[in-house]
Chains A and B, each alone.
Chain A
Amino acid sequence: MSVSPAELSETLRRKDIRDRWFLSAPALILIGVASAGPLLIVVLYSFLAPGSYGDVKWAFSTDGWFNVFFSRDIFDETVSLAEAHFSIFWRSIRVALATTVLCLILGFPTAYFIATRPPHNRSIWLFVITIPFWTNMLIRAFAIQEVIRTEGLVNTLLLKLGIISAPIQMLFTDFAILLGMTYVHLPLMVLPLYASLEKLDFRLVEAAYDLYASRLNVLLKVIVPLVKPGLIAGSILVFIPALSSYVIPRVLGGGKNLMIGNLIELQFGQGRNWPLGAALSVTLVAIVLVALLFYVRNVGKSGGGAHG
């Protein structure tokens, strides 16, 4: 019956770990069944042949993947690069990057402003910035639509002020998408930036001023390098959902300015080409993974701040 303390603690530890697996089982199973697992099915589907009325035929085929990159002329069977797809991918990346930059330009001063308020006021300001984030994305897109439509607030105001003589078509343009995306994703930039800025040691800033640094130099050479983890975290948090947006381009782009998300939807709706849709989905996930790897490389586990 003599058990050494080391053995005992080892047994206890093993039991503890086993208990922890039991505790996490429900969450893991739920996510496995209704989130992570289905992703594997998407990979599988990308290698099957399309069925005639949607769905798939159970036969191995690389057509889905072929069609992501190439298109075959239906008359003379010539193969060319799928320019439509490339242009939509390229467009999506461009829009997502532009959104990220705009969020950065607007979000950095906002986060800085909040971080330099007296401590007891900061959470109120943060709350004010996050409220729109917790309201329905569709409602926010609809709100933007209302403001920029031809007879909307912005056009009416500009007309009254005599700045323009005829209403500007803003809705259903790239501008509308960019505006909506920036509007929707701004809090995702502000939160991690704030988390970094809040920890900023202002003695370093003071030291820089004492050494005759200009304001611009203090900002670019002291503050920005110190909050780099927050900058990268915020950019990734904006870039990824912006790249895969579906609702904003649909509501504000009016169906002609497609992004990857809408292209994927098309294949499962009117296009009835599920394998192509699956292959496009996997491609999107791959791009997201590259962005995440970049994040891990540059910020790693040193902590990038709050999560949206």
Chain B
Amino acid sequence: MARNVARNFSIKRLPGFATIAMLCFFVLYLPIATLVVYAFNAGTSIAIWEGLSLRWFASAWQNQQVIDASIRSLQIASVAAVIATACATLAALATTRTTPYRGLTFKYSMLNIPLLVPEIVTAVALLILFSRIKVWTGYSGLGYLIAAHSAFCVPFAYLPIRARLENMDLSLERAAADLYATPYKTFRYVTLPLLWPGILAGLMLAFVISLDDVVITEFVKSGGQDTLPTYMLGQLRRVVTPEMNAISTVFLMLSLAIVTVFFFISRNPQKDEP
């Protein structure tokens, strides 16, 4: 060791690695930064800079289609995130802190299916199923999109909740039980408050995942049910103005805000996920 120190030799250093890492960080943010900058372009081009202006934000704000799609996106994401998180919380309680029992592996696999199956296949599958149901029932509301989003958000909500549960101290609940708390009271006053950060983290993840979804929504939606991402996908075929950048920028800020809060919530326990 002394010899290494004398030669100022760091065992952790690998030449070029830090450079590549920095390059990665740079390249990850360059396109996003460009996109945001051109949202403030005064001209009509997304490539030629003509001065600073907020006109495209204003034009997006006055675009009824954009407003409708945004509201629809937020509606679906809120409802789906709540449903997914509720289901995931119960499922996490059912699959952690126990010795293996029959059916546990089955539950794990089921909970992971939405993550493992390619999204395009799920989308096609739901298109087939829901188009049948639409014909049978005549219902063509947002329910289909909400059901689809809820289902594929479950694993994302489940992960942080399960991580939180596994790091939780069992003795606190035992103590509550020893002090004659009923199982309900133990859950309500001991388990739930301890679990809360995990649930909140799961809720936010589910919300962001639902908000971002393109493929499943594109296949499942009925006419006039564009969410913001599917609206944008449609617009990308046409000539694009900086209005798209403005919409994207607002969207980015929203995701960023949620993910930042998520980061600080899930940082506390010092361990795990994601």
Residues of chain A touching chain B, judged by Cβ–Cβ distance below 8 Å, are 16-17, 19-24, 26-28, 30-39, 41-42, 45, 55, 106-107, 109-110, 112-114, 116, 123, 127-132, 134-140, 142-147, 149, 151-153, 156, 183, 186, 191, 202, 205-206, 209, 215, 219, 240-241, 243-244, 246-247, 250-251, 260-261, 264-265, 268, 274, 277-278, 281, 284-285, 288, 292, 306-308
Residues of B near A35 (CB, < 8 A) are 113-114, 117, 122, 151-152
Residues of B near A251 (CB, < 8 A) are 233, 236
Q: List 10 A-B contacts (CB under 8 A).
A: A31-B110, A113-B20, A113-B21, A137-B214, A139-B232, A142-B244, A142-B248, A152-B47, A284-B118, A284-B121
CA distance A274 to B4 in the complex (A): 66
Cβ distance B236 to chain A, nearest Cβ, rounded Å: 6
Segment at the interface with A among B25-33, B60-68, B166-174, B192-200: B25-33
In the complex, the answer to whether B120 meets A246 with C-beta atoms within 8 Å is yes
Cβ distance A198 to chain B, nearest Cβ, rounded Å: 12
Closest residue to B264 on the A side, CB-wise? A127
In the complex, the answer to whether B20 meets A140 with C-beta atoms within 8 Å is no
In the complex, the answer to whether A131 meets B259 with C-beta atoms within 8 Å is yes
Cβ distance B252 to chain A, nearest Cβ, rounded Å: 5
Q: In the complex, which of the residues B12, B46, B252 contacts A146, with contact meaning CB atoms closer than 8 Å?
A: B46
In the complex, the answer to whether B113 meets A186 with C-beta atoms within 8 Å is no
Take A109-B20, A110-B21 as given contacts and tell me if A288 and B117 are in contact as well, using a CB distance cutoff of 8 Å.
Answer: yes
In the complex, the answer to whether A288 meets B116 with C-beta atoms within 8 Å is yes
Residues of A near B45 (CB, < 8 A) are 151
Residues of A near B147 (CB, < 8 A) are 30, 33-34
The interface size of chain B toward A, counting residues with CB under 8 Å, comes to 96
| B184 interface residue (CB < 8 Å to A) | no
Residues of A near B24 (CB, < 8 A) are 106-107, 109-110, 129, 186
- Tell me the B5-29 residues at the A interface (CB within 8 Å): 9, 11-18, 20-21, 23-25, 27-29
Residues of chain B touching chain A, judged by Cβ–Cβ distance below 8 Å, are 1, 4, 9, 11-18, 20-21, 23-25, 27-32, 34-35, 38, 45-48, 83-84, 86-88, 90-91, 93-95, 98, 101-103, 107, 110-111, 113-122, 124-129, 131, 147-148, 150-152, 154, 158-159, 208, 211-212, 214-215, 219, 229, 232-233, 236, 240, 244-245, 248, 251-252, 255-256, 258-259, 263, 267, 272-274
In the complex, the answer to whether B25 meets A129 with C-beta atoms within 8 Å is yes
Residues of A near B93 (CB, < 8 A) are 20, 23
In the complex, the answer to whether B219 meets A138 with C-beta atoms within 8 Å is no
Take A34-B148, A146-B35, A288-B118 as given contacts and tell me if A28 and B256 are in contact as well, using a CB distance cutoff of 8 Å.
Answer: no
Q: In the complex, which of the residues B90, B115, B158 contacts A23, with contact meaning CB atoms closer than 8 Å?
A: B90
Residues of A near B16 (CB, < 8 A) are 109
Which 5 pairs between the two chains have the least Cβ-Cβ distance? A244-B118, A38-B125, A113-B21, A143-B31, A34-B151
In the complex, the answer to whether B267 meets A123 with C-beta atoms within 8 Å is yes
CA distance A268 to B148 in the complex (A): 18
In the complex, the answer to whether A129 meets B117 with C-beta atoms within 8 Å is no
Residues of A near B215 (CB, < 8 A) are 246-247, 261
Cβ distance A119 to chain B, nearest Cβ, rounded Å: 10
Residues of A near B35 (CB, < 8 A) are 139, 142-143, 146
CA distance A37 to B34 in the complex (A): 42
Q: In the complex, which of the residues B118, B151, B263 contacts A240, with contact meaning CB atoms closer than 8 Å?
A: B118
Take A128-B25, A151-B47 as given contacts and tell me if A244 and B120 are in contact as well, using a CB distance cutoff of 8 Å.
Answer: yes
CA distance A205 to B9 in the complex (A): 13
Cβ distance B89 to chain A, nearest Cβ, rounded Å: 9
CA distance A104 to B57 in the complex (A): 39
Q: In the complex, which of the residues B23, B154, B212, B256 contacts A30, with contact meaning CB atoms closer than 8 Å?
A: B154
In the complex, the answer to whether A30 meets B83 with C-beta atoms within 8 Å is yes
In the complex, the answer to whether A243 meets B118 with C-beta atoms within 8 Å is yes
Cβ distance B186 to chain A, nearest Cβ, rounded Å: 14
Q: In the complex, which of the residues B12, B83, B214, B258 contacts A202, with contact meaning CB atoms closer than 8 Å?
A: B12
Residues of A near B252 (CB, < 8 A) are 135-136, 139
Residues of A near B152 (CB, < 8 A) are 34-35
CA distance A22 to B114 in the complex (A): 21
In the complex, the answer to whether B151 meets A21 with C-beta atoms within 8 Å is no
Cβ distance A10 to chain B, nearest Cβ, rounded Å: 13
Residues of A near B91 (CB, < 8 A) are 23-24, 26-28
Residues of B near A123 (CB, < 8 A) are 263, 267
CA distance A96 to B84 in the complex (A): 30
